[in-house]
Amino acid sequence: MNKLSDRNGLNLTQVPVLNRLLLWNGFPYVFQFIFLVVFIILVIMGWNLYAPEGVHNRLFAQTNMVNLLVWGIWWPLMVLTAILFGRLWCMICPLEMVSNFSERLSRKLGVRQKKLNRWVRSGAILLAFYALVHLLIAGIELHRIPAYTSIFLIGLLTLTAVTGFLFSDRAFCRGFCPVGLLLNVYGRGSMLAVRPRSSDACSNCTGKDCVMACNRFKPDARSCPSLLNPAALKDNSDCLLCGQCIKSCGPGNMALYLRRPFHPDDRRESMAPWILTMFIMLISGYVTFRMTGGWTWARVIFLWTPEQFVSLFSLEAYYGWIRGIWMLFVFPVLIWTLMGGLVQVFTMESMGTIWRRLALPLVIVFAAAHLAEGISKLSDWAGYLPYALRAPDGVDVALMVTDGSMPVPDPLLSQATVSVLALFLLLVASWFSVREFRLANPEYARTYLLPKLAFTGMFLYIAFGWGAGLLFGF
């Protein structure tokens, strides 16, 4: 009788119903297919749909099913699941299925597929795509206009199919997916992980079915399609939790575990690679911007510089784009330089080294702030869901709310509750951030404490303002 828990955590593969599910040859394809159908329905529903005249795009984003589901519900839930359960979304992601299908079709047609080169594998395109999505959100309100969301989803589907056709080995996920880096960095402390039960079993294994190239193109129970070595998994950054190695492992040694966050056996990197560092800097600006949305006073301060710039050069027509550039690039460089300066008072390390040491521990705090902001958004938008289910295009509800004949639905949680929840999340994240830094860089733990506390303090202050600003009217 196999044990339910071991050093790795709770072995979910030993739970009979989950075992049957994970080994079922329809898993995860059936779930991916269902989400693909939803994906296509959303594309059709959003096609050529714009806010009616007189209705603000922001309101229409909440009343229309396409934007409500994609940006108001799926996006915050993806952030939540990424933090708690790593790449759980990847397990059932329809784009992976499209990529898998087009890769197989291409092989059947005899196309000579290319391997991703080092530059693409480094995540440079993932970084560029994530930045592009957020620039489009700032510049053209991609997240508020169903027609644009529809085009965006079509673009994703097309890119997935084309990259799957031209490149081998899950190319879209490894080199092009716009949320790939986000899932990579937010999911590092995941409580869900695929790991070998025993390293001895792997050492003595002669079959190595989890990595054998001849298993890669089987319909199911494949060797790792992401080209990882499942027997040596030590972190959650690239594993999509697809379960193929669990199915293919002859001795039944691979398992899906539920574990404590930031498991002590996981690998810690003392410095993040440059691409991840840049991505985390970009995230810090985006999250700060989103956090300030709950407190007018903080938002005014955050946007003071781009607004001055716009009025000085009469660039009002480009305000969204300029705000996006400020949020994603200028503000992060300024604040990270300031934080790096605080460290340089105590050490001779270069600014780049300081940024790279800070990035992975700090992203825990950014993820918590992102989650808090996501909860706030989910709470504000969820009240529109019953209306969107009844009338998915959302036009009538948007018109009625605009002319005052229908009240704005109450949020699920009060602003004060969201504020307290945010403070709690940030404090927990701050503790993990300090601990993770100490584990990765024990000799620098004290020297680097100041910027971590400064970032956390800034977010705590803003989260406090969500409740206090409302209470005192500023």
Q: Which residues bind ligand SF4 (CB under 6 A)?
A: 87, 89-90, 93, 95-96, 172-173, 177, 179-180, 183, 194, 196, 201-202, 205, 207-210, 224, 226, 228, 230-231, 233, 239-245, 249-251, 253-254
Residue 40 Cβ vs ligand SF4, minimum distance, rounded to whole Å = 16
Backbone angles phi, psi at 96, to 5 degrees: -65, -35
Asked if residues 467 and 424 have their Cβ atoms less than 8 Å apart, the reply is no
Residue 138 Cβ vs ligand SF4, minimum distance, rounded to whole Å = 22
Residue 178 Cβ vs ligand SF4, minimum distance, rounded to whole Å = 8
Is the CB of 42 or the CB of 55 nearer to ligand SF4? Answer: 42
**CA–CA dist 411, 397 (Å, integer):** 16
Residue 377 Cβ vs ligand SF4, minimum distance, rounded to whole Å = 20
Residue 235 Cβ vs ligand SF4, minimum distance, rounded to whole Å = 11
Is the CB of 203 or the CB of 314 nearer to ligand SF4? Answer: 203
Residue 432 Cβ vs ligand SF4, minimum distance, rounded to whole Å = 23
Asked if residues 277 and 332 have their Cβ atoms less than 8 Å apart, the reply is no
Is the CB of 94 or the CB of 306 nearer to ligand SF4? Answer: 94
- Residue 37 burial (CB count, 10 A): 11
Asked if residues 319 and 139 have their Cβ atoms less than 8 Å apart, the reply is no
Residue 66 Cβ vs ligand SF4, minimum distance, rounded to whole Å = 19
Is the CB of 87 or the CB of 356 nearer to ligand SF4? Answer: 87
Is the CB of 130 or the CB of 459 nearer to ligand SF4? Answer: 130
The residue to which tokens 């989103």 are assigned: 290
- In 259-356, DSSP assigns E strands to none
Query: Given the DSSP bridges, would you call strands 254-258 and 9-11 parallel, antiparallel or unpaired?
Result: antiparallel
Residue type, position 440, single letter: A
**CA–CA dist 325, 138 (Å, integer):** 9
- Length of the chain, in residues: 474
The partner residues of 114 in beta bridges, in order of sequence, read 167
Please tell me whether residue 232 adopts helix, strand or coil conformation: helix
Is the CB of 39 or the CB of 448 nearer to ligand SF4? Answer: 39
**CA–CA dist 171, 103 (Å, integer):** 9
**CA–CA dist 286, 38 (Å, integer):** 28
Q: At what angle do helices 146-166 and 29-46 cross, to 10 degrees?
A: 140
Backbone angles phi, psi at 102, to 5 degrees: -70, -30
**CA–CA dist 255, 10 (Å, integer):** 10
Residue 60 Cβ vs ligand SF4, minimum distance, rounded to whole Å = 27
Residue 32 Cβ vs ligand SF4, minimum distance, rounded to whole Å = 9
Is the CB of 196 or the CB of 361 nearer to ligand SF4? Answer: 196
Is the CB of 199 or the CB of 337 nearer to ligand SF4? Answer: 199
Is the CB of 253 or the CB of 456 nearer to ligand SF4? Answer: 253
Asked if residues 283 and 365 have their Cβ atoms less than 8 Å apart, the reply is no
Is the CB of 49 or the CB of 182 nearer to ligand SF4? Answer: 182
Residue type, position 161, single letter: A
- Residue 111 burial (CB count, 10 A): 13
**CA–CA dist 153, 176 (Å, integer):** 14
Residue 248 Cβ vs ligand SF4, minimum distance, rounded to whole Å = 7
